[in-house]
Amino acid sequence: MSFSRSLILFLGILFLAGGVQFLAGINGEQARRAWQAYLLNFVFFTGLSSGAILFSAILTMTHAGWGRPLKRLAEGMGAFLAVSFLLFWVLYFGREEIFPWAREPVHGKEAWLNTGFLFARDGIGLLILTALSLGLLYYSVRPDRYAAFLPGPGPEIPGGKELTEKSRRAQAILSPLLAMVYALVLSLIAFDLIMSLDPHWYSTLFGAYYFIGSFYSALAALVLIAGIFRIRMGLQDFILPGQFSDLGKLLLGFCLITGDFFYSQFLVIWYGNLPEETRYVILRVRESPWEPLAWTVLLVCFALPFVVLLSRKIKFHPPAMMALAGVILAGMWLERFLLVVPSTWKVKSFPLGLMEALITAGFIGLFGLTLVHVFRKFSPLPLFDPEFNESLKERAAIGSAGNHHE
């Protein structure tokens, strides 16, 4: 698939601008601010990309035909995990700026909160998650790559049926493994890279809250990417308003689940009234400059999507769904900001400005370049997925029956 040079140039400029700002920031007077912006974007985009590949795994596990036109788009976003694995190691050089326990060990937690063990366990976890994700992507695109070099229509190419079946079985094995590793590794990331920023605070629900929120972000990103590809790549015959409606139902469900996990965590902490727990919450919802941001996150991530997604008409309207998805993604980025930054930033000023915008732009550019790289090599549709072709046949049969009835 071809992409315009202007798009690639634009994404490259975003990446370059973010990289230059990050390097200037960590070598300047506000190194901590640059490192916390990097960590914030790392946990946001890592969660989003891993949630996207989980969507593909769920489609495989449930044999869901409705979402097959979206499968490859989700896998393309999941390919960013390979980049994310490399980005993780950059955090090692900013460990003393990011993690307070790296400068002053926490009594009784030294065995867990130490630099060597943290980077070893998180690195191994991310490596396993990345390997499973790339394995799932490999077996998904394998029939397409094989068919590209041989003549013949679809699975009728020589050896096509056998190859397709082997790839299907491999995906069936990898998908549940990936789902389990997703929950374990993202919980570990949440505990180590977010919760440990305030080493005296703890929540056993925090890991689940992070990986559920990551899947919620991935669904919103999938709506946005599907809408862009539908318009720019002429996929209107494959990605229909019905797919946006189904994604909207999932978004509504995970909006409620993410909100429920947040409330369940908040309620126990608030009524427990233990100083080491409530201080974390009070800082974010009662103290300046974070209080307005907390209310903004509540409105943008949960209240607004809940009300809008109750409308059946809006869910069938792709542009409206794309706009809502953009709002949710911005809200979830601010939510990650609220989790990370108050723990590391001890100045009363609000650290959200040009530095954060450019570093975030750098991550967006790198994420976009990864998508471009994937879809220059592979079709955005799983052309040789049996269930994708079956869903097309069913759709054609329904359309034919409707025309016959008329």
Of these ranges, 58-67, 84-93, 200-209, 390-399, the one predicted with the greatest mean pLDDT is 84-93
- Residue 146 is predicted with a pLDDT of 65
Type of residue found at 65: G
> Could you list the residue range(s) of the whole structural domain that residue 135 is in?
5-393
Structure confidence by residue, pLDDT tens digits, 321-346: 999 999 999 999 999 999 999 999 98
* Nearest 10 degrees: Cα torsion 289, 295, 301, 302: 160
* Residue 405 domain-assigned (yes or no): no
In the predicted structure, residue 400 carries a pLDDT above the cut 60: no
Number of domains in the chain: 1
* Residue 400 domain-assigned (yes or no): no
Q: What is the mean pLDDT of residues 273-287?
A: 84
Give the rounded percent of residues in the chain with a pLDDT score beyond 70: 93
* Residue 108 domain-assigned (yes or no): yes
* Residue 404 domain-assigned (yes or no): no
- Residue 266 is predicted with a pLDDT of 83
In the predicted structure, residue 154 carries a pLDDT above the cut 90: no
Confidence class for position 271, pLDDT limits 50, 70, 90: confident
* Residue 398 domain-assigned (yes or no): no
* Residue 351 domain-assigned (yes or no): yes
* Residue 219 domain-assigned (yes or no): yes
* Residue 402 domain-assigned (yes or no): no
Confidence class for position 155, pLDDT limits 50, 70, 90: very low
